[in-house]
């Protein structure tokens, strides 16, 4: 089968022939139908986050089950599934206390370089990425890395839920638990930020302020629920937000992954407000905050994959789409082939796209 392999950071991905073995007892072989390009993949391509190479990236996908291992009862061949990198064991302390995103069982949630699921007829090991590797025609995954979805859900829209949508929506609903009427700021309105905005709208947030340097993104944000927009090029972002909110917001979400914007997210909080950092700030970088701000009970927290319980959350997101509350069609800027993946990332870097999705059957 064909897969896009990253050999070295800052080099184009190369389409190569690779293979996967038959599923082990708790594994599922999936025919990949759609894979979205997420900015997290780009962070790894650019070496801002380390990963053993060569590797097949990709982690936002949907497909159809082809084969299941001997102990798998959850799915059968033909089922439609969405993948999630938040693979869980179900028995560690974090899983059993309701935080499966933080699963600590590394036999299930394997560490980078640990999985031996991909091979390619060379001595050199080919690494699986985040226990998924979606930029490939097939995926071999643990059964707890997938969720079944209804078959009338278009797979290209379902794929988006697998990372971008669950991350943005979940940051608002699960991590920050935004209450009806509270004010929200989303800094960075890409695929993930847009889901935070749509999620804030679903949660009944009051003021929803979108911050982005791209006017086209701000326009779409308004369609998805933003009540106000802020362009950083028009002056100090923190001051602009304070002016709009009578002194500060209840919830800010940094969905970009930069030191400056993470600091802005904290600085724009009202007393008692919470900043949630969703963006992946380059590995090793530190952020600076004013200590005084903590005296008024301002908080800052991380959010991993929207603190999801994806077996519950993702089918609910499908229902939101079906009921017209989640505007997934608006996310897709381009449908591309696997062979066009490098162009897809170049467009992401240039800010031209919200989401490009690889259509494997096209």
- The rounded distance, in Å, linking the Cα atoms of 14 and 5 is 5
Q: Which does 240 bind (CB under 5 to 8 A by kind): Zn ion, ligand NAD, none?
A: none
Q: Is residue 348 near ligand NAD by the rule CB under 6 A? A: yes
Q: Is residue 237 near Zn ion by the rule CB under 5 A? A: no
Name the residue with tokens 């995954």.
Answer: 141
Q: Is 40 a catalytic residue?
A: yes
Smallest separation, CB 247 to ligand NAD (Å):
21
Q: Is 43 a catalytic residue?
A: yes
Q: Is residue 222 near ligand NAD by the rule CB under 6 A? A: no
What is the signed CA dihedral for 234, 199, 157, 29, rounded to 10 degrees?
120
Site string for ligand NAD, 35-74 (x = CB under 6 A): ---xxx--x-------------------------------
Q: Is 38 a catalytic residue?
A: yes
Closest of 171, 198, 226 to residue 328, by C-alpha: 198
Taking phi over 0 as left and psi of -120 to 50 as alpha, with beta for the rest, 235 belongs to: left
- The rounded distance, in Å, linking the Cα atoms of 158 and 144 is 17
Exactly one of 84, 92, 163, 189 is catalytic; which is it?
163
What six digits make up the tokens of 235? 């002056």
Smallest separation, CB 196 to Zn ion (Å):
13
Name the residue with tokens 């905005």.
Answer: 197
Q: Is residue 35 near Zn ion by the rule CB under 5 A? A: no
Smallest separation, CB 8 to Zn ion (Å):
21
Give the number of other CB atoms < 10 A from CB of residue 258. 17
Q: CA–CA distance from 249 to each of 173, 192, 240 (Å)?
A: 16, 20, 11
For 347, the 3-state DSSP assignment is helix
Smallest separation, CB 85 to Zn ion (Å):
8
For 47, the 3-state DSSP assignment is coil
* DSSP bridge partners of 229: 210
Smallest separation, CB 150 to ligand NAD (Å):
24
Binds ligand NAD by CB under 6 A, chosen from 5, 87, 118, 192: 192
Q: Which helix (H) or strand (E) holds 80?
A: strand 80-83
Please count the residues of this chain forming the interface with ligand NAD, following the rule CB under 6 A: 32
Q: Is 80 a catalytic residue?
A: no
Q: Which stretch binds ligand NAD (CB under 6 A): 7-15, 205-213, 242-250, 333-341?
A: 205-213
Q: Which stretch binds ligand NAD (CB under 6 A): 73-81, 92-100, 206-214, 324-332?
A: 206-214
**Which residues lie near Zn ion (CB under 5 A)?**
38, 40, 163
């Amino acid at each position: 089968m064909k897969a896009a392999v990253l050999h070295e950071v800052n080099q184009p991905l190369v389409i190569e022939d690779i293979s996967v073995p038959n599923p082990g007892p708790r594994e599922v072989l999936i025919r990949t139908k759609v894979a979205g390009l997420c900015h997290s993949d780009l962070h790894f391509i650019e070496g801002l986050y380390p990963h053993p190479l060569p590797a097949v990236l990709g982690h936002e996908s949907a497909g159809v089950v082809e084969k299941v291992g001997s102990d798998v009862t959850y799915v059968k061949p033909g089922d439609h599934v969405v993948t999630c990198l938040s693979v869980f064991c179900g028995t560690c302390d974090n899983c059993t206390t309701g935080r499966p995103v933080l699963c600590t069982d590394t036999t299930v949630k394997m560490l980078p370089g640990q999985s031996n699921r991909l091979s390619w007829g060379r001595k050199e090991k080919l690494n699986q990425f985040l226990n998924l590797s979606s930029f490939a025609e097939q995926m071999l995954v643990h059964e707890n890395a997938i969720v079944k979805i209804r078959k009338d859900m278009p797979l290209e829209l379902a794929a988006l839920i697998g990372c971008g949508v669950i991350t943005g929506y979940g940051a608002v609903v699960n991590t920050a638990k935004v209450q009806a009427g509270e004010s929200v700021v989303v800094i960075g309105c890409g695929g993930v930020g847009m889901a935070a905005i749509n999620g804030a709208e679903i949660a009944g947030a009051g003021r929803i302020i979108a911050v982005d340097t791209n006017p086209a993104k701000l326009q779409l944000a308004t369609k998805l629920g933003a009540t106000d927009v802020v362009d950083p090029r028009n002056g100090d972002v923190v001051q602009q937000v304070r002016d709009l909110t009578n002194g500060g917001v209840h919830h800010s979400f940094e969905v970009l992954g930069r030191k400056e914007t993470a600091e802005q997210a904290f600085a724009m909080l009202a007393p008692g407000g919470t900043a949630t950092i969703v963006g992946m700030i380059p590995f090793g970088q530190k952020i600076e905050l004013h200590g005084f701000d903590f005296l008024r009970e301002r908080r800052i927290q991380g959010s991993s994959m929207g603190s999801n319980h994806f077996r519950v959350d993702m089918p609910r997101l499908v229902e939101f789409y079906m009921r017209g509350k989640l505007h997934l069609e608006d996310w897709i800027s381009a449908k591309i082939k696997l062979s066009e993946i490098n162009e897809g990332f170049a467009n992401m870097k240039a800010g031209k796209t919200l989401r490009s999705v690889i259509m494997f059957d096209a």
